[in-house]
Amino acid sequence: MRPGIIQRIFDDHFPSVDATHQLDRRARTAAWDIRTCRTHLQGYHVDACPNGDYSVVLNNSCGHRSCPLCGATETQLWLERQLAKEIRCPHHQIVFTSPGSLQPLWRWNRQLFMNLYFRAAWHSLRELLADAKHLGALPGVIAVFQSWNDELGEHLHLHFIVTSGGVDPNGKWVAANADFLVCAETLMRKFRGKFLAYLRAAFSTHTPTGKAKSEVLLPPPGRSVQQCLNLFNKLGRQPWHIQVDPAMPYAHGAIKYVGHYIRRGPISERRILSYNGDRVVIAYAHPGKHDSATFTLDARTFVLRLLSHVPQRGTHCVRAYGLYHSECREKLNQARTYHSQPSYQPESEPPDKHELIHRMFPDFTADLCPKCHARLRTIFVERHAHSPPQRRAA
Ligand SMILES: [Zn+2]
Ligand SMILES: [Zn+2]
């Protein structure tokens, strides 16, 4: 459907959702931004011709990372940076799924839970692959946290895109077996043990050396810490789902797939096939996995599901580890040299928004001066309050 359909659904249904649910500031800010993106409520900016013969006043975009109208240029910038770093070797995908019974803990501790989740998965993989029995080398990983399933319900999992090989302590490339990077069962046991241990430790208010911690895990409402610890004990005895795929020849397809989720939330507007004011018909992202090509949600459920996936402000849902981490430049270049690639050189000055738009859409003309065809420049920005109205007292 046309761009702005999610804004329309939110305009129609968010007020009644807000009136009947205790939404937190995270969700209300996202809803406010989605509803006011590119309207006068976000302020305005002036784009002008550098030769002085034309200028135009435009409403600001909201810039919220869960807004479907925003984020195209940030996504492009991220993709360009990742693809510039890519090691031209096969890559595996690993999916670390956490049990559904941990979801209430995540809802109540979004940032800390996600940090521990990433850390446990990376530490498990790094330890196993550092062992000479498995690989004896450091791989490169791009990792993304996703909280949704195909119907936009809650389903917490991490996608890891992992080099099929790594750099050993002597700086030499060690190739992995393309069909078998690591045993999923071994990885699952290590990850399950570490994640549960990190969660247990996160309940204590002090470090083992007696220092007060800045972040402590809180039990969800209606549950005690002891009940959570009992749940962890039970989960420690159950199998978790970890999937390790055979290698794909290169990473760029997977990087592009992941890149499309670093902004704009779990769904692109293109997947919304129809909206009749009440019900939303949505195309599955992976229709091959389902009996039907589409699913339908009532609009209030759609709004609630989208809001449930809005990350806490400031959290990084996409991270780089090992050879792809920014502090691992030397080892990254050792790997690139082995694969006959030039050393990675980051762009010193990130390109501006207009430059990125032209890289993405070479035929784009809406930001050219109608008289001299020079590219317009933003010369003035007026931002309005970037916060939602407070909930009125009953
Ligand atoms: Zn926006
Ligand atoms: Zn001009």
Q: How far apart are CA 166 and CA 332, in angstroms?
A: 9
**CA 170 centroid distance within chain:** 34
Question: What spacing in Å lies between the alpha carbon of 68 and ligand 1's midpoint?
Answer: 6
Task: Please tell me the number of the ligand nearest to residue 62's CA.
Answer: 1
Ligand nearest to the CA of 37: 1
Tell me what pLDDT residue 392 has: 46
DSSP 91: E
Angle subtended at Cα 55 by Cα 50 and Cα 56, rounded to the nearest 5 degrees: 140
What's the 103 CA to ligand 1 centre distance in angstroms?
Answer: 28
Sign of torsion over alpha carbons 305, 96, 235, 109: negative
Q: Confirm if 283 and 294 have CB atoms less than 8 A apart.
A: yes
Cβ within 8 Å of residue 67, ≥6 positions away: 30, 33, 34, 37, 61, 264, 265
Strand order from edge to edge, sheet including 140-148: 242-244, 91-97, 154-163, 140-148, 318-322
CA of 264 to the centre of ligand 1 (A): 8
Give the C-alpha separation, 243 to 80, whole Å. Answer: 28
CB 34 within 8 A of CB 6: yes
Q: Locate the domains of the chain by residue range.
A: 5-66+363-391, 72-266+311-338
Ligand 2 centroid, distance to 355 Cα (angstroms): 17
CA of 379 relative to ligand 2 center, distance in Å: 14
Query: Cβ contacts of residue 122 below 8 Å, gap of 6+?
Result: 141, 143, 321, 322
Cα-to-chain-centroid distance, residue 88: 23
Ligand number nearest to the C-alpha of 73:
1
Judged by its nearest atom, the ligand closest to the C-alpha of residue 375 is 2
Question: Residue 32 Cα, ligand 1 centroid: separation in angstroms?
Answer: 10
Question: Between the CA of residue 331 and those of 140, 179, 244, 309, 393, what are the distances in Å?
Answer: 10, 24, 24, 35, 57
Q: Considering every ligand atom shown, identify the ligand nearest to the alpha carbon of residue 55 and give its number.
A: 2
Q: What is the pLDDT of residue 393?
A: 42
Give residue 56 CA to ligand 2 midpoint distance, Å: 12
Ligand with smallest separation from the Cα of 47: 2
Ligand nearest to the CA of 368: 2
- Residue 310 to residue 305: CA distance in whole angstroms: 9
CA of 272 to the centre of ligand 1 (A): 17
Instruction: Give the pLDDT confidence score for residue 111 in this predicted structure.
Output: 94
Backbone angles phi, psi at 188, to 5 degrees: -60, -45
Ligand 2 centroid from CA 72, angstroms: 26
Please provide the DSSP assignment of 97-151 as one string: E--GGGHHHHHHSHHHHHHHHHHHHHHHHHHHHHSTTTT-SB-EEEEEEEEE-TT
Measured in Å, residue 381 CA sits from the centre of ligand 2 at 20
Cα 227 to averaged position of ligand 2 atoms, centre (Å): 67
Q: How far is ligand 2, taken at its centre, from the CA of residue 52, in Å?
A: 6
What is the Å distance from ligand 2's center to 368 Cα? 8
CATH for 72-266+311-338 (1.10.10, 3.40.1310, 1.20.120, 3.40.50): 3.40.1310
Ligand 2 center to 374 CA (angstroms): 5
Distance 63 CA to ligand 1 centre (A): 5
**Which residues does residue 144 pair with via DSSP β-bridges, in sequence order?**
159, 318
What pLDDT is stored for residue 348 in this prediction? 73
Q: How many Å lie between the centroid of ligand 1 and the Cα of residue 223? A: 37
pLDDT tens by residue, the chain, 394 residues: 567 899 999 999 999 999 999 999 999 999 999 999 999 898 999 999 999 999 999 999 888 888 888 877 778 888 888 888 999 999 999 999 999 999 999 999 999 999 999 999 999 999 999 999 999 999 999 999 999 998 999 999 999 999 999 999 999 999 998 888 999 999 999 999 999 999 999 998 888 788 888 889 999 999 999 999 999 999 999 999 999 999 998 888 888 887 777 777 788 888 999 999 999 999 998 888 888 899 999 999 999 999 999 998 888 899 999 999 999 999 999 999 999 999 998 877 777 777 777 777 777 777 889 999 998 888 899 887 655 656 544 3
- Residues 354 and 345: their CA atoms lie apart, in Å, by 22
Ligand nearest the Cα of residue 372 is 2
Of all ligands present, the nearest one to the C-alpha of 34 is 1
